[in-house]
A and B are shown apart, each in its own frame.
Chain A
Amino acid sequence: MIKSYKTRRMVGMGVVYAILTILSIIWVLPLVWIVMTSFSGEDAAFIDHVIPTKWTFHNYVQLFTDTKIFNYPRAFMNTLIIAIFSCIISTLSVLMVAYTFSRLRFKARKAYMNVAMILGMFPGFMTMIAIYYILKTIGLSQSIVGLIVVYSAGASLGFFISKGFFDTVPKALDEAATIDGATKNQIFWQIILPMAKPIVVYTVITSFISPWTDFIMARMLLRDAIDQYTVALVLWNMTDKEKVDQFFYRFCAGSVIVAIPITAVFLKMQKFYVEGITGGAVKG
């Protein structure tokens, strides 16, 4: 056995770092691959070397300029609109529901929470066919408005995490505000929300990402309404067997661009995330 503490520590750290390095390579490699491939100027789509021999920005240019068969810019805008609206609606509803369950006491509160818990166990796509026919009846199928409704309608069921966070905010603050004459509504907006920034950020990010990356609902609902297509559908169509040779590199470029809004939202929100955790109720 190694006697010296220092060497033992070095070896231990070495093993840990080796494992971490391997894991990070496994994790990062697909990302590196797709980014590299998106800048590839190779002629053939399926090649047996990983690093392209020619580099170009052409794939990105074509993705946004050659819109005859696949209109990526339009799909990007559609997805952005869907994601932004669903994000606003579901963030508000999730936080309000969470506040209600955390602070207000009413009949059947427990029962409601149990029902929500059980409903939350069902995967969303289970009711896909029913959702399609309901939306068709009210005339919202084959449009992005319908998609916004789908994504935001069930969102508030996911209030548990936010409720858990609100429960940790001291009730004494509410009571103090009530004594000062604040209504429940004012307490929510002016006391609880500023205290709960991390969870607001968390809710915003999750409710932005899920409509942004969804494929199943979009495919189910939009069908042949090409001008309403989202990024996921356009990218999927690019890999069709007739198209893949021509569009493979544009597909990679399109996949890379998908990451930009998510990253932007996260970077913007990160500031509040940290602020929320470090900030307290008592300002000095």
Chain B
Amino acid sequence: MFGKTKRVAGILLASCMIATAFAGCGGDGGSTTTSSSGGGTDTTSSSGGGDSTDATAVSVDDMLKDADLALDTEGKDTEIKLKVWAPADALEVFQAQCDEFVKSFPDRKIKIEVVAQGESDAAANVMNDPEAAADVFAFASDQASNLYPNEFVMPVRDDFAATIKAENMSAAVDVVTNDGKIVAFPETGDNGYFVYYNKSLISADEIKSIESIMQVCTDKKKQFIMNLGNGYYGCVIPLTAGGTYELDAEGYQKLNYDKDKVVKTAKAFADVLASNSYFSSADTDKVLASNLKQGKALAGVSGTWKKSAIQAALGNDFACAKLPTIKIDGTDTDMVSMFGYKIIGVNSNTKAPYTAQALAFYLTGEKCQTERMEKLGWGPSIQKLVESDTVKNDTCLSAVYAQREHSVPQIGLAGSFWDPTGAFGSYVVEKKNDLSEEGIAKAYDSMYNNITAK
């Protein structure tokens, strides 16, 4: 009697566990199916969007003047409703720009709603449910490798693409290109990191090399913070050694690193930073603004997203510079960083492909980029604006673009890249580790194998 009950209970429990296991798979499978079905529908709609075969470049102004060219027949009879995702603090600027766009086409019925959505979440939200996502959305370039191959974004019309290619910085064009086709609109060219410093504590000359920074830190007993334990910043070590990265055909990470050079560079980092107690690899996203404010730190590495917080913290002492140089084999070498771009994409599921593309094109055009540069301090991606006086006179933006000269674009990265790179970075600056060349070489091997493991 009891034996039977036990057996039944056992079978029930076992089947429960199996069901759980399968349910997990089912969830995953479900989301892949949706994404691929999303991809299926957009082939049709994208061909609707990009039917102009002649690739004569159309400028934003030309487009605004000619409603038929810009919008085809959309909005003539029925009202077009578009949703745009923009970061919360840029909401007003984007809404004003969208209103301006609508006003350019007085005979069309268009309604645009701008909704707050952080750029870091946008891609994930689009992939989770493309139908509920915005028609036009901003995202950071590191998300591109997920969005492009699965056709979450609609390829750009050829006539717009020609203008994008002609106007933007070449690296910004690279990050919106997939399989030789332009698939999105470059929005900013400033998504990278550089040095923020307190200019009352360290001079513009001293901030130029890591050796002099650490010297000043030691003299003044203040910190220099760089989060080398995070792969995003930790990759500075292999990149400074001339490394690059790409994805192979199957989507696995490929690293073009020269082991001897990376180890030598890492040794240089270890020599300057590991033994110095004023170097901190704390999370700059959390502590940098606070520590600068309290005078505990004199400089630190972070990106444009921290600008307003650090500006508020330092006031008149606020200053920025490109990453410092580091002495490797006796020569001052520029630190090379990873550099991202922000991109505006058009959702493949949009019901108004022409209007959405025209809007994205307008939002990333010269006028809108200038406006955002002036009102929000966002760095432009259009070459002409990058060379403008506004950029040169802005300490933050000029540092961004100076660093961009020594950078590798943030594309072609697999998920496996980040943690091992961060682990290698934190190994190098930790005094208690074996920091001889052999020790570092061992850490390098483990990073390399973990990243490229299939």
| A175 beta carbon closer than 8 Å to chain B | no
Residue of A nearest to B116 (CB): A226
Query: Would you call A130 and B293 a contact (CB within 8 A)?
Result: no
Residues of chain B in range 6-37 having any CB-CB distance to chain A below 8 Å? 12, 16, 20, 23-24, 27, 30-31
Query: Would you call B115 and A245 a contact (CB within 8 A)?
Result: no
Query: Would you call B306 and A242 a contact (CB within 8 A)?
Result: yes
State which of B159-167, B281-289, B377-385, B422-430 sits at the interface with chain A.
B281-289
| A45 beta carbon closer than 8 Å to chain B | yes
Query: Would you call A136 and B293 a contact (CB within 8 A)?
Result: no
Question: Could you tell me the distance between the alpha carbons of A23 and B27 in the complex, rounded to whole angstroms?
Answer: 41
Complex partner residue of B132 from A46, A121, A122, A136, CB under 8 angstroms = A136
Query: Would you call A244 and B286 a contact (CB within 8 A)?
Result: yes
For residue A43, which residues in chain B have a CB less than 8 angstroms away from its CB? 293-294, 313
Question: Could you tell me the distance between the alpha carbons of A164 and B416 in the complex, rounded to whole angstroms?
Answer: 50
Contact A44/B116 with A69-B89, A130-B30, A242-B305 known, Cβ cut-off 8 Å: no
Number of interface residues of A (CB under 8 A): 32
Query: Would you call B125 and A223 a contact (CB within 8 A)?
Result: yes
Contact A46/B306 with A118-B16, A136-B132, A141-B132 known, Cβ cut-off 8 Å: no
Complex partner residue of B31 from A45, A69, A121, A129, CB under 8 angstroms = A129
| A179 beta carbon closer than 8 Å to chain B | no
For residue A69, which residues in chain B have a CB less than 8 angstroms away from its CB? 88-89, 116
Query: Would you call B125 and A129 a contact (CB within 8 A)?
Result: no
The smallest C-beta distance from A259 to any residue of chain B, in angstroms, reads 25
Bitwise interface map of A from 82 to 96 toward B, beta carbon under 8 Å scored 1, else 0: 000000000000000
Question: Could you tell me the distance between the alpha carbons of A223 and B88 in the complex, rounded to whole angstroms?
Answer: 14
Query: Would you call A46 and B287 a contact (CB within 8 A)?
Result: yes
Complex partner residue of B129 from A46, A136, A246, CB under 8 angstroms = A136
Residues of chain B in range 65-85 having any CB-CB distance to chain A below 8 Å? 83, 85
Query: Would you call B285 and A224 a contact (CB within 8 A)?
Result: no
| A172 beta carbon closer than 8 Å to chain B | no
The smallest C-beta distance from A81 to any residue of chain B, in angstroms, reads 21
Complex partner residue of B20 from A46, A47, A126, CB under 8 angstroms = A126
Query: Would you call A224 and B125 a contact (CB within 8 A)?
Result: yes
Question: Could you tell me the distance between the alpha carbons of A14 and B294 in the complex, rounded to whole angstroms?
Answer: 43
The smallest C-beta distance from B87 to any residue of chain A, in angstroms, reads 8
Residues of chain A in range 143-194 having any CB-CB distance to chain B below 8 Å? none
Query: Would you call A224 and B115 a contact (CB within 8 A)?
Result: yes
Q: What are 22 of the A-B contact pairs (CB < 8 Å)?
A: A43-B313, A44-B293, A69-B88, A69-B89, A121-B16, A126-B24, A126-B27, A129-B30, A130-B27, A136-B129, A141-B132, A223-B128, A224-B125, A237-B88, A241-B285, A241-B286, A242-B118, A242-B309, A243-B88, A244-B309, A245-B306, A246-B308
In the complex, besides A129-B27, A224-B116, A242-B87, 14 extra interface pairs with C-beta distance below 8 angstroms are: A44-B291, A126-B23, A126-B24, A128-B27, A129-B31, A130-B30, A136-B129, A224-B125, A241-B286, A242-B118, A244-B285, A244-B286, A245-B289, A245-B306
Q: Which 3 residue pairs of A and B lie closest in terms of their CB atoms, listed nearest first?
A: A245-B309, A44-B290, A46-B290
Residues in chain A within 8 A of chain B (CB atoms) = 43-47, 69-70, 114, 118, 121-122, 126-130, 132-133, 136, 141-142, 223-224, 226, 237, 240-246
